[in-house]
Amino acid sequence: MTQKILDVAVNFPGLKSVLSYKGKSTEDYEVGDILEVPLGRRNALGCVINIHENVNNSIKYKEVTGKENEFFKLSSEEIALYQWISKYYVYSLGKLIFDCLPKHLKRQKEPYFITGKGQDFTFELNEEQQKILVNFDLQNFSQTLIHGITGSGKSLVFFKMIERAIAQNLSVLFLVPEINLTTQFLEFFSVHLEVNVYAYHSSITGGEKFNLWRTVKNIDSAALFVGVRSSIFLPIKNLGLIIVDEEHDSSFKQNDRCQFNARDVAIKKAHLANIPIVMGSATPALENYYRFQNKDNYFTLTSRFGESELPEISVIKNGSEEDDCWPINKSLLQQIESTVSEGYKVIIFVNKLGFSKYLQCKSCYEAFDCPNCSVKLTYFKGREALECHLCEYKEKTPRMCPHCGCLDLFHQGFGVEKVVESLPQFADKIIRFDRDELKNQKDVARVLAEFKSGAKQILIGTQMISKGHNLAGVKLLIILGVDSRLHSTDFRASERVFQEIVQVSGRAGRFGEKAQVYIQSDLRPKFYDFIIDKSFDDFQKDELGHRELLGLPPFQKMAEIVFEGKTEFQAKTKSYQFKDFIEKVSERNHFEVQVRGPISSPIKKRKNKFYWQIYLMSPKNGEISNLLYQVKQTKEALFQDSYINIDP
DNA sequence: AGCACGCCGACT
DNA sequence: GTCGGCGTGCTC
């Protein structure tokens, strides 16, 4: 009898995580089996990815320790997806698989689902909506992008698509960027569809997750799965359609471990399963917008549902520090007053927690820095403390400058607390809406109920406002603190700010009321013209022009490699050594890859560690991953304390 | 990730 | 003299 060799992707972070083992003669093995295998002086979990008989005499094979029958066997399609992710994001296959699989827990909990009521729901689709559905079929892999303004009824199109899949007894995976968006979809879908609806998000416990995997592998009737990023790994049986809502959202990017983008993984998953994928957004990611230009499966929805119109948007100057109502421009006070007295609502959007951005000494200009990070401490008036937003550091607000002894300290910049304080005449009508004030979903629900009922009419808060909430009666919306965000060194800064302004503006005038949005800014970038005119295509085209000129995505593929060191010198040295080596390999093997940097990271010190980084650019898709993969395979030590971020 | 080996500082 | 700090390197 010939000896069977099992190639096993073992759970450890080395790139060469696929090791070969002898099987036990008493046991049968198949590709996809989860095994326990010896690794050094310990055991680890692994997944069989290949079985063959080619014995290599230079390897001393160890024998498999055991088979994990309690675990789920991976299908060849799942393995293919994990292999693609591992190659593209340059991440250990074995580690990836066991990062994604649910942990096998003793405590069992049955997964929760909502039984769909299948109540009749009749609505007229407009011409644009119908056009999308006419040619949509579930037969093969296809990609569709729906670019629809906020409130244009994308969900109705999704609904029709899901209905069709279910009619063919096919399950649907509906991806959303964040949990707070799922509730309204869950409600809508479960009332009108006649299938079980499962929600998948971070608050699902280990036991429930494990059982959900068991369930999705075995259910025969169609079901709908509404989930966040990690739900792309659910091995859903008879999956017939994937929908990615708010496709542009940065929450789809994982920023620890394997830094995949769930939208891109979803596309690959649809491709491997040979099923359609549909993406939707009011502000498509530039990469996607560019990819879909002049394609048949790019659709726009340009009219708002029902009577509603998009709000009118204007840009006005930042408030003057002389005025009592600073940072709000005093010319807006009258509008706030009249909006409130007419019984309508106001939202004020601020990008910063706390009271002031930082504290500074009036005589020597000493500012209070975090001792562990290269950022200034934020002043919180409620707690009378200075706090770091990157680490745990906090201290009581100092009375005098520790540097020169001066007692005159002044505040720079503003946060939510300050904005609330700047409108004392409305104090009894204001709700503060930020992570600091609202600790859980319960708080959020309570406060939103107060706002909806009209008990409170002014909502002042951070990014938490911008997503998903369907609020009636918002006639005035003020956006503060845009300028500092535009000054960021991130090449996506204007794209992100643009997306956020559009998303936030979408909160106003959703139920027929004519609304007004004011953006306070002293800058005059061209993109305000595009925002005011609502010519979103023109913004995208203008931004594409800049990107092309600078050779940035989507015109080139990009990767960012960050090096961590205990000292700045160490981080810097590592990044230079890496650059030298990768440039040599790239040249020698004729890779079309250009190295930019090294450069100190935008925040060069975090939690007492220092960061330097380099960028890799290439006009060819997959080229950077191939180069990195090759270098990492031959010289893994160069990657010690580094983070690879593909398509940052 | 673990878990070894290996080479310098402060302890009985 | 050696106990243990964590840098470096390997795992079929």
* A86-110 pLDDT per residue, tens: 999 999 999 999 999 998 776 678 8
Q: Is the CB of A14 under 7 A from strand B?
A: yes
Cβ atoms within 10 A of the Cβ of A608, count? 11
Higher pLDDT, A169 or A122: A169
* Structure confidence at residue A207 (pLDDT): 84
Question: pLDDT for A36-65, tens place per residue?
Answer: 999 999 999 999 999 999 999 999 999 999
Of A residues 427-456, those with CB within 7 angstroms of nucleic strand B are none
Higher pLDDT, A400 or A85: A85
Q: Is the CB of A184 under 7 A from strand C?
A: no
SS3 assignment, position A474: strand
Q: Is the CB of A545 under 7 A from strand B?
A: no
Of A residues 43-72, those with CB within 7 angstroms of nucleic strand C are 59-62
In this predicted structure, the answer to whether residue A601 has a pLDDT above a threshold of 80 is yes
From residue A11, give the alpha-carbon distance in Å to each of A51, A91, A99, A118, A254: 18, 12, 9, 44, 19
Amino acid occupying residue A639: F
Once rounded to an integer, what is the mean pLDDT over residues A353-365?
A: 87
Q: Which residues contact A211 (CB under 8 A, 6 or more apart)?
A: A108, A109, A110, A111
* Structure confidence at residue A141 (pLDDT): 98
Of A residues 623-642, those with CB within 7 angstroms of nucleic strand C are 637, 640
* Closest C1' nucleotide to A58's CA: C12
Once rounded to an integer, what is the mean pLDDT over residues A462-468?
A: 78
Q: Is the CB of A13 under 7 A from strand B?
A: yes
* Nearest amino-acid residue to C9, taking CA and C1': A637
* Closest C1' nucleotide to A41's CA: B3
Higher pLDDT, A93 or A442: A93
* Structure confidence at residue A539 (pLDDT): 94
Distance CA A606, CA A603 (A): 7
- Distance in angstroms, CA of A51 to C1' of B1? 26
* Structure confidence at residue A89 (pLDDT): 98
Higher pLDDT, A277 or A469: A277
* Closest C1' nucleotide to A61's CA: C12
Cβ atoms within 10 A of the Cβ of A430, count? 19
- Distance in angstroms, CA of A547 to C1' of B4? 49
* Nearest amino-acid residue to B3, taking CA and C1': A41
From residue A529, give the alpha-carbon distance in Å to each of A129, A185, A521, A536, A539: 28, 33, 13, 10, 9
- Distance in angstroms, CA of A373 to C1' of C11? 36
In this predicted structure, the answer to whether residue A309 has a pLDDT above a threshold of 90 is no
* Structure confidence at residue A1 (pLDDT): 61
Cβ atoms within 10 A of the Cβ of A407, count? 11
Q: Report the range of poorest mean pLDDT among A136-140, A167-171, A301-305.
A: A301-305
In this predicted structure, the answer to whether residue A179 has a pLDDT above a threshold of 80 is no
Reference A281, options A251, A254, A255; nearest CA is: A251
Reference A616, options A572, A551, A544; nearest CA is: A551
- Distance in angstroms, CA of A640 to C1' of C1? 36
Once rounded to an integer, what is the mean pLDDT over residues A416-433?
A: 92
- Distance in angstroms, CA of A12 to C1' of B7? 27
Supply A177's token pair. Answer: 């960027």
Cβ atoms within 10 A of the Cβ of A25, count? 9
Q: Report the range of poorest mean pLDDT among A44-48, A402-406, A458-462, A492-496.
A: A402-406
- Distance in angstroms, CA of A62 to C1' of B4? 18
Cβ atoms within 10 A of the Cβ of A42, count? 6
Q: Work out the burial of residue A164: count CB atoms within 10 Å of its CB; fewer than 13 is exposed, 13-18 middle, 19 or more buried.
A: middle
Question: pLDDT for A516-541, tens place per residue?
Answer: 999 999 988 788 999 998 888 899 99
Distance CA A91, CA A103 (A): 20
- Distance in angstroms, CA of A637 to C1' of C9? 9
In this predicted structure, the answer to whether residue A195 has a pLDDT above a threshold of 90 is yes
Higher pLDDT, A381 or A470: A381
Distance CA A317, CA A6 (A): 68
* Confidence tier at A439 by pLDDT (50, 70, 90): confident
* Structure confidence at residue A515 (pLDDT): 92
Q: Which residues contact A57 (CB under 8 A, 6 or more apart)?
A: none
Reference A384, options A431, A420, A417, A421; nearest CA is: A417
Higher pLDDT, A550 or A218: A550
Strand order of the β-sheet with A345-349 is A312-316, A516-520, A474-479, A345-349, A458-461, A430-433
Q: What percent of chain A has pLDDT over 90?
A: 72
- Distance in angstroms, CA of A212 to C1' of C12? 34
Distance CA A286, CA A265 (A): 17
Chain B bases near protein CB atoms (7 A cut-off): 1-4
Once rounded to an integer, what is the mean pLDDT over residues A17-30?
A: 96
Higher pLDDT, A299 or A400: A299
* Confidence tier at A307 by pLDDT (50, 70, 90): low
Supply A550's token pair. Answer: 């600078």
Chain C bases near protein CB atoms (7 A cut-off): 7-12
Question: pLDDT for A241-270, tens place per residue?
Answer: 999 999 999 999 999 999 999 999 999 999
CB A258 within 8 A of CB A15: no
In this predicted structure, the answer to whether residue A496 has a pLDDT above a threshold of 80 is yes
* Closest C1' nucleotide to A566's CA: C7
- Distance in angstroms, CA of A637 to C1' of C7? 12
Higher pLDDT, A544 or A512: A544
* Closest C1' nucleotide to A17's CA: C11
Strand order of the β-sheet with A42-52 is A62-63, A18-22, A5-10, A42-52, A34-39, A66-67
What value does the CA radius of gyration of chain A take, rounded to a whole number of Å? 27
* Structure confidence at residue A468 (pLDDT): 60
* Structure confidence at residue A317 (pLDDT): 93
Q: What percent of chain A has pLDDT over 70?
A: 99
Q: Which residues contact A440 (CB under 8 A, 6 or more apart)?
A: none
Supply A275's token pair. Answer: 């099923």
* Closest C1' nucleotide to A22's CA: C12
* Confidence tier at A359 by pLDDT (50, 70, 90): confident
Please tell me the number of Cα atoms within 13 Å of A618 on its side-chain side. 20
* Nearest amino-acid residue to C8, taking CA and C1': A637
- Distance in angstroms, CA of A457 to C1' of C5? 60
Question: pLDDT for A375-415, tens place per residue?
Answer: 999 999 999 999 999 999 999 998 888 888 888 888 989 99
